[in-house]
A and B are shown apart, each in its own frame.
Chain A
Amino acid sequence: MTSDPPTPSTQAAELALGLLDGDERAAALRRVLSDADFAQEVAWWREQFSGLLDDYPPVAPTTDLLPRVDEAAGAAVMPQAPRRWGWFTGGLVSGAVAASLAAAVMIPRPAPIVVPAPAPAPAPAAPLIAVLVPSNAGAQAPVAAWLARNDGALRLTAAVPVPRGRSAELWAIGPDKVPHPLGLLSATGRSSQLTDPMAGLKEGDTLAISIEPQGGSPTGAPTGPVIASGVVVMT
């Protein structure tokens, strides 16, 4: 008895699901490398099937594995003071303090891990990221900002609430402490296209978001409240 032959799409789905083994799996993997359409189809299926991750019920592990992970990592993952993550649980922190807390995240420390991470292929320009701490930290969780430097696309991991009829404007604050306008957040509150990313934002700068009149600050400097800020680092 023979089976229905695979189509390119079902073969892609089979690979994405993990149904294949042995020669069939090897053949499908070779095809990913040689056939861009096929690779895209595999990625599409992976994305769709990821919705099924919902169906795994959570089960608490019997033991706290963190000490074992720490030991296996060969050095101290743990001993950082957990205090500054207090704002995740709703501690009320002033904007200025919050900004300095975010800066604390960036303090360079010796890499504690012996085995280096499998380095991703070096991008032409590594993206910049910043963990933006809301000024009203009790009401909202921090948001990570991600800037692709090659095209100036900036994304946030969660939407920033913007009052109706106002705009959220992005600012770079460098060593001179003067906010330089970078552009407006999109209507979704999640992304922006920076006008001049290379000139505007550098590692070590503070990235801040303020609420401005529709269309942005009329003066070129922030006129409304700063709702979130954080220090920019390179990935």
Chain B
Amino acid sequence: MQESEPSGVGDVASPDTERRAALAAALAATGLRDGAAFRKVYQLTSAKLFGICLRICGERQAAEDVLQEVYLIIWRRAASFEPLRSSPITWLATIARNRAIDWRRANGHPLPPPPDAEPRAAVETADDAALADVAMIAREDAHHVHRCLATLDRGSRDAIRAAFLDGATYAELAERAGVPLATMKSRVRRGLLQLRKRMTDDL
């Protein structure tokens, strides 16, 4: 991960920067078996991680069961979190995404329908404290991948986004789009090649 440029000397840290630092510190302390720190991690991240589980699992009950497992994993693995390798919220969100995908595939659960639009309504149901994490991922590479994806044709872009956000396989993407498997593979692979080029050129 790249280091950000030095912000102006003596700058007051932005609220997001402070939240990121608070989360990093709480996660580090969780690694030392500090229950109160773990509670802090939960408070800062449960809405974000639940949003991930809900999107991938497609139903609330399953998503809550998966979320419970996710925090158990976090409690057990916090000591292996390396701040140099990833941001805390990326580390936590990746655990949630992987666990939710595992659950859906292990249970043979069908791919949930794609959300119609970005479901901002759901955001309104989360309280302020839970929203504290919303902007924590906001950083250069997030903008970068969004910017580069936006240059792809719509079919490739939607498929790649759905692959990531819904945790869909090729077979599921093909079924959802109503196209043959080979067509979907070609569509995604062409998109990925373009994306690779854009991201590298743009760096």
Contacts and interface: CB of A to CB of B under 8 A. Distances in A.
A144 interface: yes
Contacts, number: 284
- Chain B interface size band reads 35 or more
Contact of B83 (A57, A85, A106, A157): A157
B152 interface: no
B151 interface: no
Contacts of B62: none
Nearest to B134: A58
Contacts of B47: 58-61
A139 B17 CA distance: 12
Contact of A105 (B5, B13, B37, B139): B37
A2 B79 CA distance: 46
Interface stretch (A8-16, A176-184, A200-208): A8-16
A115 interface: yes
Given A1-B183, A49-B164, A55-B165, 9 more contacts: A10-B193, A48-B144, A57-B120, A59-B54, A59-B123, A59-B125, A73-B75, A113-B75, A131-B29
28 contacts: A3-B182, A3-B185, A18-B164, A19-B163, A20-B170, A48-B141, A48-B144, A50-B86, A50-B90, A52-B145, A52-B164, A53-B94, A53-B137, A58-B133, A61-B63, A61-B64, A65-B68, A66-B39, A69-B71, A72-B68, A72-B72, A80-B36, A83-B36, A131-B28, A141-B25, A158-B24, A161-B9, A161-B10
Interface of A: 1-4, 6-7, 9-10, 13-14, 17-21, 46-63, 65-66, 68-69, 72-73, 76-85, 88, 105-106, 109, 111-113, 115-118, 120, 127, 129, 131, 139-144, 146, 148, 155, 157-159, 161-164, 187-191, 233, 235
Interface of B: 1, 3-7, 9-13, 17-22, 24-26, 28-29, 31-40, 42, 46-48, 50-52, 54-55, 60, 63-64, 67-69, 71-72, 75-77, 79-80, 82-84, 86, 88-90, 93-94, 97-98, 101, 105, 118-120, 122-123, 125-127, 130-131, 133-134, 137-139, 141-146, 160-161, 163-165, 167-171, 173, 180-186, 188-190, 192-193, 195-196, 199
